[in-house]
Structure 1
Amino acid sequence: MTNPEMWPEDWGAGPPDVLRGAVPEPRLAVADAPAVPVPTWRPRDLQDVLDGTYKAPQPTIGRRDDGVPLFYAGRMHSVVGESEGGKTWFALLSVAHELAAGNAVVFIDFEDDAPGVVGRLLALGASVKDISDRFACIRPEEPLTIGLNRLEIGQALNDLRPTFVPIDGVTEGMAMHGLELKDNTDVAKFGRMLLRPIAEMGAAVTTLDHVVKDKEGRGRYAIGGVHKLNGLNGAMYVLENRSPFGVGCTGKSTVRIAKDRPGQLRRHALPHSSGLHWFADFILKSHDPTFTEASLYPPVEHEGPFRPTEVMKKVSDAVAGAAEPLNVRGIEARVGGKKDVIATALAFLVDEGFVEVKPGPNRSKLHSLIKAFEAGG
């Protein structure tokens, strides 16, 4: 545990400094890192950019069903969404891919215990040997700054050299360290303390986080300070849930790109009216607790007339939830948004047999639900 070659260079000379609490914010350097860090205030060498030999970072971690990778090595990412929206499953699908490719993964989870994480991995088809040999699950219950905790995680990272490090439960992790979720300074401090040092070791670091409750006003942001987005130098994915994930259920979420700093992912996505590119459809079919099928389908650009499936789902839900048949104004009041898009959605629902129209008073048209519409259908 105290091998000098494994000791991060700026954590002090050894355990006595740790025990005295004289350890600065961690830089989880690998064993063969240079003893003297490169000065970051020195002007950078631009020769490779000027002579055309510079190569932009490319995603290499995880993959979509068509082989397109999801995350950049050595960079910080985030996956955000509502509860039961599939964030952890989405990350574990990439964990399974990395293990199958012969790479190592460290999963840091401030919320769940190891059996829950490993159980999901096994359900996704990861082998017992791969998990035993090249996977580590860390469940922190006290701050990184206490005792030998920095040394423990540094040892695990140096031993495994993971390509992918998901971090689940950012809210709980920040609270554990006495940091305020809505304070951008504290958000940045958490990144410097835990996320950035791991990324500097070459791993794709990915936080799993919640979105704000207000669907209309959430935009691209996770709950808390905007630095959660601004501080990322990789990508942020937003999972828009269509059907909840759970045992015995088929969960569905649309995966959108909220940020892509290196700029290599959006070309594999389709533009969307929200401004967030449509990157994939994540579908997870749970047969039972031990067997789960997961797919990450690429987006498909539909030919033919515009079909606003998201608004069609909202209209279907509005008609289904009403105590009596609704006229057009009643639907517009419940759905909100552009009236022409609602009219188009309603026309499709009627034409495709989801909604029935009957004459109402004063020449109005009353709409009743025949069968529910699902956006993924």
Structure 2
Amino acid sequence: MTAQEPPALNEATSWSPIDLTAVLNGTYKVQPPTYMKRTDGVALLYPGKVNGVHGESESGKSLLMHAVTAEELAAGRRVLFIDFESDQATVVTRILMLGATPEQISANLHYIRPECNPIALAQERQAWERLMQTRYSLAVIDGVTEAFSVYGVGSMDNDEVSTWGRNVPRQIAQRTGAAVVLIDHVTKSAENRSRFAIGAQAKMSYLTGASYSVEVIAPIGVGMTGKLAIRIGKDRPGLVRPYGGDWRKSDRTQEVAVALIDSQDRGRIKYALMPPRDFIDAGTPDKHAKLSEDILQAVRDSPEALSFRALDTVVRGKQDAKRAAIQELVNTGQLETYPGPRNSTLHRIPNQRDTQPELKQCECIPS
């Protein structure tokens, strides 16, 4: 090899040309959102990408991701939870109340509460590398502002924020395959608030999936049933927006889901993520209320419990709207469900007697 010849490379680097064959022949496909599913099956989180959830203090944004974590654990998938805001007792207790079992949590939840940049110390770096060699479906980073403090990042410094975004959330997404979710705050002033979280403009650049804001419709609390509006502000792959509601001109967001958080039972939290209000009822709350009453009346009038197929036959309206209304009625205790023949789910009024077997608790989506 002469002095002028470049050294041979044994493996591709980030500066090596990318093979474009799949793009050119039409076989390349954008991986669709897979996790955080609504009751109609529409998913909101992109795997292998950095997603964001932000809102005011006590808006329920962390609880929302605790619920999604519980769903992933119940499905037998592994979750990484990096917590810069709370503690293991609070987080794990909530996940238990949301339906995950101790066995599921022990087997598949990796809960981390970092106190330093993992690059700073050899032992911390080794622990970080072990995490990066693990496959996760979901990776939550709760408390971005606090994370910046731990890493020594200035929250208004675009260069430092951009570097952190590439070195932490993007690395987790690329190396573990997880749908990474950053939980962040918004500015206190609603007038000066944009579609994105508080801080440097560079926060937008490291989001490679979708970004959501959380707004309170009805407050969350012990003994209460709260509702949260989930609004989409950024959808880089573009596969979620078609399932959103009307465009809000003031901040260019769409309501893409409504989260129901039922804490009336002090030992348990019920959670359901429904389609947006104007998506399921054409923007008219009265229509949604009437649809719910029509469903209840159909069940009352029937001598036996009804499957969704039977309800769909006797109650007028869109299927998505009926599924969402049924799920809300179940979560608020106005309907109860239990397994029926051929994998169906049957519905009846609580304490209504029929010839069906005794009620068994069912957290599944009405089929």
What TM-score do the two structures reach when normalised by structure 1? 0.68
Query: Do 2:246 and 2:278's aligned partners in 1 also have CA atoms closer than 8 Å?
Result: no
Whether contact under 8 Å (2:214, 2:230) holds in the other structure is yes
User: Is 1:77–1:232's contact at 8 Å kept on the other side of the alignment?
Assistant: yes
Distance (Å, rounded) in 1 between the aligned partners of 2:266 and 2:167: 36
Residue correspondence of structure 1 range 31-110 to structure 2 within 5 A? 38-110=12-84
- Is it true that 1:277 corresponds to 2:254 in the alignment? yes
Deviations 1:108-149 (A, max 9, x none): 000111111100100100111110101111011233233211
Give the whole-Å Cα distance in 2 for the aligned partners of 1:245 and 1:36. 56
| 8 Å Cα contact 1:81/1:241 also seen in 2 | no
Q: Deviations over 1:272-328 (max 9, x none)?
A: 22321110011211135531011111024379997699xxxxxxxxxxxxxxxxxxx
Corresponding residue of 1:216: 191
Aligned to 2:217: 242
Give me the whole-angstrom Cα distance separating, in 1, the residues matched to 2:162 and 2:235. Answer: 19
User: Which of 233, 251, 262 pairs up with 2:208?
Assistant: 233
In the alignment, what sits opposite 1:363? none
Q: Tell whether the 8 Å contact from 1:63 to 1:97 is kept in structure 2 after alignment.
A: no
| More displaced stretch, 284-293 vs 218-227 | 284-293
1:89 and 1:166 mapped to 2: Cα distance? 12
Q: Per the alignment, do residues 174 and 36 of structure 1 end up closer, same or farther by CA in structure 2, a change over 3 Å counting?
A: farther
The letter of the residue matching 1:189 is: T
Specify the alignment match of 1:293 in structure 2. 270
The one-character-per-residue Cα deviations of 1:231-254 (angstroms, maximum 9, x if unpaired) are 211110111122332333322221
Deviation of 1:76 after TM superposition, in Å, equals: 0.5
Equivalenced residues, count: 274
Quick one: distance in 1 between partners of 2:140 and 2:223?
A: 25
- Residue 344 of structure 1 corresponds to none
Deviation readout 1:319-355 (Å, 9 max, x if unpaired): xxxxxxxxxxxxxxxxxxxxxxxxxxxxxxxxxxxxx
**Contact 1:212–1:221 (CA under 8 A) maintained in structure 2:** no
Flag the structure with larger Rg: 1
TM-score norm. by structure 2 comes to 0.70
Structure 1 partner of 2:233: 258
- How far apart, in 2, do the equivalents of 1:220 and 1:99 lie? 30
Query: Aligned pair in 2 of structure 1 residues 302, 174: CA closer, same or farther (>3 Å)?
Result: closer
Secondary structure, counterpart of 2:63 in structure 1: helix
Q: Give the fraction of aligned pairs with identical amino acids, expressed as a percent.
A: 41
Q: Deviations over 1:3-45 (max 9, x none)?
A: xxxxxxxxxxxxxxxxxxxxxxxxxxxxxxxx97632233332
The answer to whether the aligner puts 1:178 opposite 2:152 as a matched pair is yes
Cα distance in 1 between the residues matched to 2:282 and 2:89: 48
Matched residue of 1:130: which SS? helix
Cα 1:71–1:140 shift into 2, 3 Å: same
Which residue of structure 1 aligns with residue 180 of structure 2? 205
2:128 maps to 153
Q: 2: distance between equivalents of 1:151 and 1:135?
A: 19
Q: Once the two structures are superposed, what CA deviation does each residue of 1:199-225 show, in whole Å capped at 9, x if it has no partner? A: 112111111000111212212120101
2:164 equivalent among 190, 199, 203: 190
2:153–2:160 Cα contact (<8 Å) kept: yes
CA distance in 1, matches of 2:275, 2:234: 18
What residue identity is the alignment partner of 1:176?
V
Q: SS of 2:247's equivalent?
A: coil
1-structure distance, mates of 2:189, 2:11: 44
| Counterpart secondary structure, 2:248 | coil
Give the conservation status (yes or no) of the 8 Å contact 1:106–1:157. Answer: no
8 Å Cα contact 2:59/2:214 also seen in 1: yes
Number of the residue aligned with 2:357: none
In 1, Cα distance between equivalents of 2:233 and 2:241: 10
In structure 2, what residue type is equivalent to 1:145?
I
> Which whole-Å CA distance do the structure 1 matches of 2:120 and 2:103 have between them?
32
Q: Point out 4+ residue stretches in structure 1 off by more than 4 angstroms.
A: 302-309
Contact 2:77 2:137 in 1 (8 A): yes
Matches of 1:208 and 1:133 in 2, distance apart?
A: 24
Q: Deviations over 1:80-109 (max 9, x none)?
A: 001111111111222112112211001000
1:128 is matched with 102
> Which shows bigger deviation, 83-92 or 140-149?
140-149
